[in-house]
A and B are shown apart, each in its own frame.
Chain A
């Protein structure tokens, strides 16, 4: 391993890695991950966008693929013929937003998508991920973010969602996946970001939560998602975005975290792993870059910690 001062971000390698992702049809793993293809497309697209090389990917091809994933009920699946799900629906809407192509959806289609999302909200304010009903705070975020991007977020939906999220708060200030669930940095991000979209950050026990989040940095600089767990590059996003939303990102040692992310890179073939020495994937590549972007390193495009989109696409949401 190179000395720390020699570490740097292998930008071109990462762009190359993302571009090559769709050329791996001769590998078994490519077929086993179809259920994440649309999400993966969002992660890959955001990676090249943050690296300021948006044209590295075929825009028309991506839009065609997104449309192929759309169901008649307005929801999107992660791949043609896969069932519609809130998670892939958010990815679809985010991709169209990034590519400035939301107007490809007709008013009727948008209404259907909105119905698909709102029909998954339960009386207690939570959301089912799809028709077979796993309930999780992750789906509250995907639903609320999606509705906001479509300019269709109503007070009724907000009030119930906030009510549900308030029940997921814990003794340590954090949030779990449902009432009773243990605090987890990814669940904290989805809850804090949802509350930010809904303008209801006031329900958070901020000092307690901020302290807990700031304690996620371990001695090698990486962040973990729960106490006494190993650090992982993806928490560079989940923890740091939550702290950014709460205006407390400075509690993390940026230099140490940057080096932790750098060390997780594959500098030969590109891509970033969960931690040094492990296999890379597009999920960790994106969240590593997103973390670096939040910290202002490497001249990356700035990312919005609430919407997980480039900030120039979200200025309108921050005006009130």
Chain B
């Protein structure tokens, strides 16, 4: 079992466990039979819902019971309810899953139920609160695969509620997300999940802004700043990030500086090197640069990586850093290829 230490129980301890298990098994099986009987008889009422709560509390992996719970919610709990009641029911359900997630942060079923509940009516869900909630969860485990997945689900739900013509709001959501990934990377450059999210956001923002009216969006960001009493640093950050997207060259330069800073912070961290490979070799970036500009960037990076390897050798009895060697080979190959076609 993932991450559980192996123990070989003594004979006595084994017997004591079996004694305890006997009671637990009896309670569990009787509750399970009870709930499955209700499910087979298509009973949809409060009593049945409460029993699924009890059973799922004992075993959150029991997806059949989550399915039954959803049947009860659809056919009884959520049926013909006023808006206020619906909001209350949804918030209760979210509270239940949150209690569960605190105990089992990697259980697919619980995350899935939360997504289902919030998708029931995306218009009445409070997405800002969800975003804060998932940020807290990612503070506890910054690589939680489910957490990041859930975060992207929240963002796409928020986007789905925005009018297609309202480019400003779409861009703002993604600028905020870009700032969030920068924050996570600055906190720990080894957070590959954040680097990954960054790669998605960069491409997405460029696509969104391909034919955009930059001046108009910039003006609205400035207005937002004024409305926020002029002293909101975070909006300044959005504005600065936004300006980068007006010109890809600026963006790439900044990205390269970020990467240089990162490899000099921790030369062993693979996340940064993988992201660097992408920035240096992806068509998405180099297609937007002239050959000279591209070669300039490659040479700048080559120089820095070689410099880093010398420092690494000094620290490690003359041993090369394998990431530096690998990246040097890649950059030299890219330089050769692009010089030939001049």
Contacts and interface: CB of A to CB of B under 8 A. Distances in A.
Interface of A: 26-28, 31-36, 77, 81-83, 85, 130-134, 170-172, 177-178, 180-184, 208, 211-212, 215, 226-229, 232, 266, 268-269, 273-274, 277-281
A35 B70 contact: no
Main SS of the interface on chain A? loop
Given A26-B21, A35-B64, A132-B66, A212 B274 contact: yes
Given A212-B274, A228-B190, A170 B196 contact: yes
B1 A130 contact: no
B18 A26 contact: yes
B271 A227 contact: yes
Contact of B199 (A35, A130, A133, A170): A170
A177 B111 CA distance: 14
Nearest to A215: B270
A134 B269 contact: no
A34 B17 CA distance: 20
Given A31-B28, A171-B199, A182-B145, A274 B3 contact: yes
Interface residues of B, number: 53
B143 A226 contact: yes
A273 B6 contact: yes
A83 B6 contact: no
Contacts of A277: 5-6
B200 A278 contact: no
Interface stretch (B55-63, B87-95, B121-129, B254-262): B55-63
A279 B1 contact: yes
Contact of A171 (B2, B59, B64, B278): B278
A26 B22 contact: yes
9 contacts: A28-B21, A28-B24, A35-B62, A81-B64, A172-B278, A177-B145, A228-B271, A279-B1, A279-B6
Contacts of B169: none
Most buried by B among A31, A227, A268, A273: A227
A34 B275 CA distance: 41
B302 to A, nearest CB: 19
B274 A227 contact: yes
A83 B35 CA distance: 13
B40 to A, nearest CB: 8
Contacts of A212: 274
A278 B5 contact: yes
A269 B7 CA distance: 11
B25 interface: yes
Contacts of B6: 266, 273, 277-280
A32 to B, nearest CB: 5
Contacts of A77: 64
Interface string B198-225: 0110000000000000000000000000
8 pairs of A and B residues whose beta carbons are closest in the complex: A171-B199, A279-B4, A28-B21, A227-B192, A171-B278, A83-B64, A182-B196, A82-B64
A226 B194 CA distance: 13
B41 interface: no
A215 B67 CA distance: 39
Contact of A83 (B22, B63, B145, B196): B63
Contacts of A36: 61
A17 to B, nearest CB: 13
Most buried by A among B21, B22, B36, B196: B196
A28 B64 contact: no
Interface in B84-125: 108, 112, 115-116
B184 to A, nearest CB: 13
Contacts of B63: 35, 82-83, 85, 130
B342 to A, nearest CB: 24
Contacts of B25: 26, 28, 31
Contact of B8 (A130, A170, A268, A278): A268
Contacts of A33: 61
Contacts of B145: 177, 182, 184, 226
B5 A279 contact: yes
Given A28-B25, A132-B116, A227-B270, A182 B5 contact: no
Contact of A274 (B2, B61, B66, B274): B2
Contacts of A130: 63, 67
Contact of B149 (A35, A181, A208, A228): A181
Nearest to B192: A227
B69 to A, nearest CB: 10
A171 B196 contact: yes
Contacts of B149: 177-178, 181
Nearest to B61: A35
A39 B210 CA distance: 48
Given A28-B28, A85-B63, A277-B6, 8 more contacts: A35-B62, A81-B36, A130-B63, A132-B70, A134-B108, A171-B196, A227-B274, A280-B6
Contacts of A34: 62
A209 B115 CA distance: 30
B118 to A, nearest CB: 13
A152 to B, nearest CB: 26
Contact of B200 (A27, A180, A226): A180
B5 A27 contact: no
Nearest to B119: A133
